[in-house]
Amino acid sequence: MEIAQLLEGIKTGDRRSIARAITWVENDQPGYETLLHSLQFTRNTPVIGITGPPGAGKSTLINALIKLICSKTNVEGHPNTVGVIAVDPSSPFTHGSLLGDRLRMQEHFTNPQVFIRSLATRGALGGLSAKTLEICDVLRASTFDYIFIETVGVGQSEVEIIGLADTVVVTLVPEAGDEIQALKSGIMEIGDIFVVNKMDRAGSDLFAVGIIKTLHERPTQGDWVIPVLKTNASAYEGIEELLDSIHAHSKTATANHRLSLIAERAYRLIQYGRMKDVNIKELKDQLKSVFEKEDFNLYWFVKNLI
């Protein structure tokens, strides 16, 4: 399939073209850079990041949001469409996606209004795949009304989503009460909306109050007051309120906030571009003949490579 055909397919929302383009981008196939350079963004599609520790119910929350969103129409009067990027841990053997969030979202798998793609982290830290930004842009250049990014669920270091998403939803559960202090220096600092999921469990009210107290220590974000919402995603409770908060937050975005997001995205692309030719296998081969020498110095080795 030629690049021009792929671009036209992306523009019209053709799922096969979108999937093919994502594969090109994810695997650095010849022509992927030309494809990215040719993307056109004609819609202001909100990108919503769903993050939080493992077991918080991120996939279930997205499931519930998709169901609600797909029951509504967009400004043009057409049924809403949703794109989902679900980042999973990598298999240490195949380097592919280990869990496969599409299995946990299987009720939407055949829904023509929904496109779901699982990505493997492939060793990337921060809760995202190395190509999440570019793949998100492929979806942004298409016809989707909403884009969700679900991070891998690694806890405190899972903060890269703040540079990609317009709105970051941090999902926690009452059982995480003892972990708030540990999370404060990580994901507790990046959320635009906080969700206490599985609110039917004991201690959810007290836990929500604890989050509110913790958030008082954060600097204010303009006029936006960070909400702490309670949901029971498996029973679709509190989902309407969450979607309303996402819409409300999207209206608060300032030019400075958008500039910060774009600068962060540019930084990630530059960082990836400069590291693109660094290969761990080649480094191992180069080290093999020198690392056991008495005068071996790792810093000199790296400096010579640079």
Domain ranges, ordered by start, for the chain: 1-40, 42-254
| DSSP letter string, the chain | --HHHHHHHHHHT-HHHHHHHHHHHHTT-TTHHHHHHT----S---EEEEE-STTS-HHHHHHHHHHHHHTSB-TTSSBP-EEEEEEEPBPTTT-SBSS-HHHHTGGGTT-TTEEEEEEE-TT-STTS-TTHHHHHHHHHTTT-SEEEEE----STT--GGGGT-SEEEEEE-GGGGGGHHHHTTTGGGT-SEEEE--TTSTTHHHHHHHHHHHHTTSPPBTTBPPPEEE-BGGGTBSHHHHHHHHHHHHTT--HHHHHHHHHHHHHHHHHHHHHTT--HHHHHHHHHTTTTSTT--HHHHHHHH-
| pLDDT tens, position by position, 34-71 | 999 999 998 899 999 998 888 889 999 999 999 999 99
| pLDDT tens, position by position, 252-289 | 888 888 888 888 888 888 887 888 788 888 899 999 98
Considering the domain 42-254, what is its CATH architecture?
3-Layer(aba) Sandwich (3.40)
| pTM reported for the whole predicted model | 0.85
pLDDT for residue 253: 82
Average pLDDT, the chain: 84
| pLDDT tens, position by position, 193-233 | 999 999 999 889 988 988 888 888 776 667 889 999 999 99
pLDDT for residue 89: 57
Residue 241 has pLDDT above 50, yes or no: yes
Residue 119 has pLDDT above 60, yes or no: yes
Residue 188 has pLDDT above 80, yes or no: no
